[in-house]
């Protein structure tokens, strides 16, 4: 649509220049040569203006795409689906990039998408392992000191051990020390299924969990803090009650001894 309008505008400018030149040199022998030179000048000026406008528009659209792709490096919950969705969004954004500069920027997007996917795939499993390790450690500390639950704490320990040790033990059982050094739980059938489930939860048409992670973490921290404060308050009241009871018991014993001494006297 935009290219058609540009071509139509160029043709209209050339036709107007030809008509103006014919009126100016009507009947002159050099009219044809002057018309050709004038048309060439008009075409060159229109082409230069078209290139500048195309380059400016494409550069503006590409800056938005580049910022969107660069933001993927700072996400807390990596997702292949999110990466592919961003690339598709960039393709839609660059649909407004037309004209002489369009090929350069579309090629730049293809190169950036290929390089970004290689880099993303190289870091994806490492980021998942790191996030799962932090989740297990956080769960262990939470269920030991805040929301005390021995069963949940044992579950976090078992999950941590299964993620860190079981793939390496399986590789060692196959007498492959090299594979044991690089074994990952994400390469197993259960790990691949877990990744698919993770992708479906983290990024879907309904919500992007990376945008909700910090509010959810803040809410969970507030709930755990409130429960911990209530437990501390109950423990303090219980301790004060026991202390008051012991004081009353000691005081009552002294009074009984004084009464016995009065009776003897």
Q: How far is CA 152 from CA 86, 138, 159, 185, in A?
A: 37, 12, 10, 21
Taking only the tens place, the pLDDT of each residue in 26-47 is: 555 455 555 566 667 767 777 7
End-to-end CA distance of the chain: 119
Taking only the tens place, the pLDDT of each residue in 214-257 is: 888 888 788 878 887 888 888 888 887 777 666 555 555 555 45
Q: For the chain, what are the domain ranges?
A: 2-122, 214-242
Q: What is the pLDDT of residue 6?
A: 60
Give the chain's largest Cα–Cα span: 154
Q: Is the pLDDT of residue 161 over 50?
A: yes
Burial of residue 190 (CB within 10 Å: 0-12, 13-18, 19+) is exposed
Q: What is the mean pLDDT of the chain?
A: 74
């Amino acid at each position: 649509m935009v290219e058609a309008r540009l071509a139509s505008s160029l043709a209209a400018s050339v036709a107007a220049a030809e008509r103006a030149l014919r009126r100016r040199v009507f009947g002159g022998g050099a009219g044809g040569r002057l018309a050709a030179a004038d048309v060439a000048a008009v075409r060159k000026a229109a082409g230069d203006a078209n290139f500048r406008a195309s380059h400016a528009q494409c550069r503006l659209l590409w800056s938005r795409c580049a910022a969107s792709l660069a933001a993927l490096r700072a996400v807390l919950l990596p997702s292949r689906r999110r990466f592919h969705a961003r690339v598709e969004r960039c393709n839609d954004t660059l649909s407004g990039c037309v004209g002489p500069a369009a090929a350069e920027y579309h090629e730049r997007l293809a190169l950036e998408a290929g390089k970004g996917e290689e880099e993303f795939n190289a870091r994806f499993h490492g980021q998942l392992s790191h996030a799962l390790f932090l989740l297990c450690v956080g769960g262990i500390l939470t269920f030991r000191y805040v929301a005390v639950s021995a069963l949940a704490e044992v579950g976090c320990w078992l999950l941590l051990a299964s993620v860190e040790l079981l793939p390496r033990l399986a590789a060692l059982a196959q007498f492959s020390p090299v594979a044991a050094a690089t074994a990952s739980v994400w390469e197993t059938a259960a790990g691949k299924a877990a990744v698919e489930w993770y992708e479906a939860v983290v990024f879907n048409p309904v919500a992007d969990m990376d945008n909700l992670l910090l509010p959810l973490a803040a809410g969970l921290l507030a709930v755990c803090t409130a429960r911990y404060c209530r437990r501390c308050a109950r423990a303090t009241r219980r301790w004060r009650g026991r202390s008051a009871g012991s004081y009353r018991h000691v005081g009552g014993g002294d009074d009984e001894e004084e009464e016995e001494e009065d009776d003897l006297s």
